[in-house]
Amino acid sequence: MNADPRRRVPRTDAVLADPRLRDAATRLDPAAVKDAVRAAQQQARDGAIAPEAVADHAVAALPRPSSTRAVINATGVVLHTNLGRAPLSPAAVEAMITASGSTDVEFDLTTGQRARRGRGALAALAAAVPAAEEVAVVNNGAAALLLATTTLAAGREVIISRGELVEIGDGFRLPDLITSAGARLREVGTTNRTTFADYADAIGPETAAMLKIHPSNFVITGFTAGVGVADLARLGPPVITDIGSGLLAPDPLLPDEPDADTALRAGAAVITASGDKLLGGPQAGLLLGRAEVVDRLRRHPMARALRVDKLTLAALEATLRGPLTPTWAALRADAALLRTRAEAVVAAVGADAVVVPSDGVVGGGGAPGLTLPGWAVALPEDHAVALRTGEPPVVGRVERGRCLLDLRCVPPERDAELIAAVRAAGVATGTDRD
């Protein structure tokens, strides 16, 4: 070493002039950018990095604007609640960016007057489900159910089958949500069987509504009986139907999944659903139904507390009007194509990897019991941690001593990234590993 490296460490101003750091200072806290530069300068003074590398190291050490990390979902679970459920379509992302500044979300540019909030999203939702006379959007599916039961049944009774008392996840149970809305549950039938007479006999002066909840995350098979919306609707009290997933119309891929259009045609007064399940959009709660019922919900004071933000409205409209969502691309992924892609990944990463059949699932409280046949790359189980903690993080499915990377939910254009991540995680041919 000829010169003292400390004397060659660039000055803070000079490093901050790097375009990447100048740009970062407009997006991040400028003090945080300076801290990253000072830390890199210190490393250079200590001789840990070359003085010429100070800017590069500062860039690499910049804090992220958000601690949320984008991950590759290689679980084969299309709507993975822990991974944020539905990934948004490019159209929805673009709409959110447009909506992120000042917008006309609640303003009519022609008249200069206040306008109905989110009218574009509401019109798109109404157009997608012709059987709905009126629609509304709230924060999520649980909020939609809360608003419907509070408005229609606070202080009175809601009749529900014992086979539909669902825990949706993370310890949250829909019966508790309904009682927290001030309604009393009138449970009828048994876990496996509930008949028309059970409902009919329970109706009395205290009955405000009947509730059908789709058991979206479990299946009861065997000696079972249930009552459909059409029969319940004949009994008189309004039928609230929580379909769960937000499927708007029947789909042959998911024959047992209830949809909004069918439930409304069968006579439901209002249906509630999620925006970020099978609709493939942002987190939202959808309410569709008879005009007088949905209007009452919209005017309830609680509706204001459950209001959805402008970014969600923009993404929802773009999802409804846009092309195939990533969720449906994953659901419909062709098995033969998944196999070809898995083989290409194995060929690229080497000996420790093999292609195996893999069943995907819908997940996220939709189509329980349904499997989506496909293919995965199987690696030794101990690669799972390195894959999760790499960049980008890859989340696979650990099963019977192996880490499976199911390609169903990985967009094909990200296969190269996946291959690089697998290589970085230490999967390679025997020779490369030494």
Ligand X SMILES: *Cc1c(COP(=O)(O)O)cnc(C)c1O
Are 399 and 382 in contact, with CB atoms under 8 Å apart?
A: no
Piece in contact with ligand X (CB under 6 A), picked from 33-41, 100-108, 139-147, 220-228 = 139-147
**Is residue 244 a contact point for ligand X (CB under 6 A)?**
yes
Whole-number Å distance between alpha carbons of 85 and 409: 11
N-terminal to C-terminal alpha carbon distance within the chain: 32
**Is residue 142 a contact point for ligand X (CB under 6 A)?**
yes
Cα angle vertex 244, ends 325, 303, to 5°? 100
- Applying CB under 6 A, what is the total number of residues that bind ligand X? 14
**Is residue 241 a contact point for ligand X (CB under 6 A)?**
no
CB closer to ligand X out of 312 and 358? 312
- Kindly state the smallest distance separating residue 147's Cβ from ligand X, in Å: 12
One-letter amino acid at 70 equals A
CB closer to ligand X out of 41 and 75? 75
Using CB under 6 A, pick the residue from 213, 270, 355, 384 that binds ligand X: 213
Piece in contact with ligand X (CB under 6 A), picked from 140-148, 313-321, 386-394, 411-419 = 140-148
Phi, psi of 374 (to 5 degrees): -160, -155
Are 247 and 260 in contact, with CB atoms under 8 Å apart?
A: yes
**Is residue 259 a contact point for ligand X (CB under 6 A)?**
no
Using CB under 6 A, pick the residue from 41, 207, 216, 312 that binds ligand X: 216
Bond before 392 cis per omega within 30 degrees: yes
**Is residue 365 a contact point for ligand X (CB under 6 A)?**
yes
Bond before 252 cis per omega within 30 degrees: no
CB closer to ligand X out of 142 and 376? 142
Whole-number Å distance between alpha carbons of 217 and 364: 8
Q: Closest-CB residue for ligand X?
A: 141
Are 362 and 370 in contact, with CB atoms under 8 Å apart?
A: yes
Whole-number Å distance between alpha carbons of 154 and 183: 4
CB closer to ligand X out of 74 and 146? 146
Piece in contact with ligand X (CB under 6 A), picked from 34-42, 127-135, 208-216, 371-379 = 208-216
What the block records as the tokens of 406 is 């199911």
| Binding string, residues 367-406; x marks residues near ligand X by CB under 6 A | ----------------------------------------
Residue that the structure tokens 């109905």 belong to: 116
| Binding string, residues 279-318; x marks residues near ligand X by CB under 6 A | ------x---------------------------------
What ranges make up the beta strands (E) of 58-183?
72-73, 134-138, 157-161, 167-169, 172-173
**Is residue 140 a contact point for ligand X (CB under 6 A)?**
yes
Are 184 and 157 in contact, with CB atoms under 8 Å apart?
A: yes
Whole-number Å distance between alpha carbons of 157 and 173: 18
Site for ligand X in 98-117 (CB under 6 A): none
- Kindly state the smallest distance separating residue 57's Cβ from ligand X, in Å: 42
**Is residue 160 a contact point for ligand X (CB under 6 A)?**
no
Using CB under 6 A, pick the residue from 72, 136, 153, 168 that binds ligand X: 168
Are 355 and 343 in contact, with CB atoms under 8 Å apart?
A: yes
- Kindly state the smallest distance separating residue 261's Cβ from ligand X, in Å: 17
What the block records as the tokens of 398 is 């650990």
CB closer to ligand X out of 364 and 390? 364
Whole-number Å distance between alpha carbons of 429 and 338: 23
Using CB under 6 A, pick the residue from 151, 262, 274, 319 that binds ligand X: 274
Q: Summarize as ranges the residues that interact with ligand X (CB under 6 A).
A: 140-142, 145, 166, 168, 213-214, 216, 242, 244, 274, 285, 365
